[in-house]
Structure 1
Amino acid sequence: MSPAKRPDQRVAVIIPAKDEAQRIAATVRACRSIPRVDLVVVVDDGSTDGTQDHARAAGAVTVRHSVSRGKASAMETGASVVGMRDYVDGPARLLLFIDADLGDSAASCSELVPPVIDGVADMAIAAPPRQAGAGGRGRVVRAARAAIARATGWEPVAPLSGQRCLSREAYEAAVPLAEGWGVEVGLSIDVLVAGFAVIEVPCDITHRVTGNDRAGTLHRAAQYKDVVRAIAYRRFRRQRVASSLYESAAEQQSPFHAYRALATAETDDAGPAESAQQTPQHTEAAQEARRS
C-alpha cells in the first residue's frame, strides 16, 4: 500500500442486518455522519420485521435476501453493491463494515478510516471497551486470538470485532469470506497471510450483549462452532505464515500498533519474504484493553 495520503478517497459503509428494526435507523444515521462516507448499504438478511423499511427511510441503499444466508453472504452482497456504484474515474471506495446494532455509537467508527486513508494499515479493526452485562467467560475470544496468533504471529485485542475498515484489495484477498460467526477470524488470517497490514483502534462503541441465560449460552455455542470451523478450514488449506517468517514482527508487536506478518504468504515453494513491519499508532490504554 502506498504511504501517500489519498484526500479524494471515499468510504462506503456496509451493514449486514437481520431483525434490527429497532436500531437500524439510528445506526444508519450515525454512519452517514462519518467523514468521507458517501454511501451506506444495508443488506437485510431475511428479516421478519421492518428492518429494510427503517434503513431506507434513514437514508441507506437497501438490498434484501429473501431468506437468511448468513453474515458473510450479507457482507459479500454489500461489497458487490458498492463495487457497482464506485466511480469509474476514481479509486474504489474503502469498505467499512459495521454491525447493525450499534445505534448512535456507530459514529465512533470514524476512527477506523484515517489509518487506511493515510497508508498506516490496509485493515483497521475497532477495539471496543468492555461491554456491561456481557456473559460468557471469554472462551470464544481466546480460541480466536490463539488461532490468529498461530497462523500469523499477531495477537489481537478484539479478534471477534465486526467493525472493520479495509481497502478493496485487502477485502478481495479474503473472499470468499468464512461462514457464520467465523467471518472475523477468517478475515484477519486471510488479510495477514496475503501480506497486508492490520491495526486495531480503540472505538467507544456499544452493542447488544448476550447474557448468561439459555439464549446467550446457545448463541455462544453457535459462535464457537463457526469460529472453530473457520480455523479448521484454514489449517487444512495451510493458510498461514511460517513462524520463522513472522518471528521478528511477533516479538515486536504491541496493541494498537500496525502489524504486518510478511509480504508474501507461505506456499509449498515459499520464496524470500519482505521483512515484517510495524508502525506505531494509537498506543493509549493498550494493556487495559487486552486485559478486558
Structure 2
Amino acid sequence: MFTSVIIPAYNEADRIENTLNGIVDIDIIDEIVVIDDGSSDSTVEILSRYKSDKLKFWVQNSNQGKGKALEKGLELCNSISDIVVFLDADLGNTSSEVVKIIMPVINNECDVAIARFRPAKKKGGMGFVKRLARDSVYEMTGVELNSTISGQRAFKKEVIDRFSKIPDGYGVEVGMTIDILKWGYTVREYIVDMTHNETGRDLKGFIHRGKQYLHIKRIVNKKRREWGN
C-alpha cells in the first residue's frame, strides 16, 4: 500500500516543522505533499530547508483557499497512491496520531476514516458550527457523525478519484462527506490525541466561526440542490 499525505499550509511557520517531524518517520507513509497557500511568513523557507526524501512541496503565488490547495496536492501525488490522507499543518508533533486513521483504511475497515478529537481544553464557542455540520450531514444521508468538520481524513484512492473538484472554503469537509456517503462508501470516526490551534473567544475567533457557518450553510444548500434533498 502506497500512502500519500497532503498538507495545505497557510502561515504555519510556528508549527509546520513539528507537524512534519511527527509523521516523516512513520513507515506506512510513503510521501508527504505540502501546499503552501500563499503564506506571508517563513513557512516556505522552513519547507525549503527541511531534509526528507518523502517531502515535496508547492507554493501557490497567492492565497487561493483550502480546496484549491488540496486539489494541487492531489495533482502532485504519486500516481500509484492507494491511500490519500488530508492533514492540517498546525498539529505539531501530535500529527503522529495520523496512524490511527490510516490503519483502518489499510485494513479495509472503512473507505474513509475521520479523526475525532477529544473535547477542547478551552471553550471555543464552536458548538453552533459543529451542530450545523453534524445535523446537515445526518439530514441528507441518515448517517450520524460527530467530526464532520475535521480536516484529518484518510481515503481510499478510489473515493478521492470520484471528485472532479474539491469544494472550497470552510465547507470543504462537510461537502465531501455528504457526497461520499451518498455514493455509498463507508465512513468511520476514530478518536485521536491530536491538538491544533484552537479558535479563541475573541473577536477574531467569532469572525472565523461566522465565516465557517456561512460557508457550511452554502455548501449544504448546494449539495441539497445537487442531490435533490
TM-score by length of 2: 0.94
Name the CA distance, whole Å, in 2 between partners of 1:106 and 1:42.
14
Partner of 2:67: 72
Counterpart of 1:52 in structure 2 is: 44
Query: Paired residues, what number?
Result: 226
Matched, 1:223 2:216: no
Give secondary structure in 2 for the equivalent of 1:37: coil
| Alignment RMSD (CA, Å) | 1.3
Q: Which residue of structure 2 aligns with residue 185 of structure 1? A: 174
1:107 aligns with 2:96: yes
Q: CA deviation at 1:137?
A: 4.8
Gaps of 5+ in 1: 1-8, 241-292
Matched residues in 1 for 2:134 and 2:145: separation? 6
Superposed CA deviations along residues 53-92 of structure 1, whole A, max 9, x for unmatched, are 212433321101101110011111101100xx334xxxx3
Secondary structure in 2 matching 1:195: coil
**AA of the residue aligned to 2:173:** E
Q: 1:31 to 1:56 in 2, by over 3 A?
A: farther
| Code of the aligned partner of 1:109 | V
Relative contact order, higher structure (CA 8 A, sep 6+): 2
Q: Alignment partner of 1:109: what SS?
A: helix
Q: TM (normalized to structure 1)?
A: 0.75
Contact kept, 8 Å, 2:118 with 2:193, in 1: the verdict is: yes
Amino acid at match of 1:74: A
Mind listing any 5+ residue stretches in structure 2 that lack a counterpart? none
Deviation at 1:175, TM superposition (A): 3.8
Mean CA deviation greater in 137-146 or 30-39:
30-39
Task: Kindly name which structure, 1 or 2, has the bigger radius of gyration based on alpha carbons.
Answer: 1
Equivalent in the alignment of 1:276: none
Task: Name the SS for the 2:181 alignment partner.
Answer: helix
* SS of structure 2 residue aligned to 1:160: coil
CA 1:167 to 1:56, structure 2 compared with 1: closer, same or farther past 3 Å? farther
C-alpha separation in 2, matches of 1:137 and 1:54: 31
Aligned to 1:268: none
2:82 to 88, 93, 117: 93
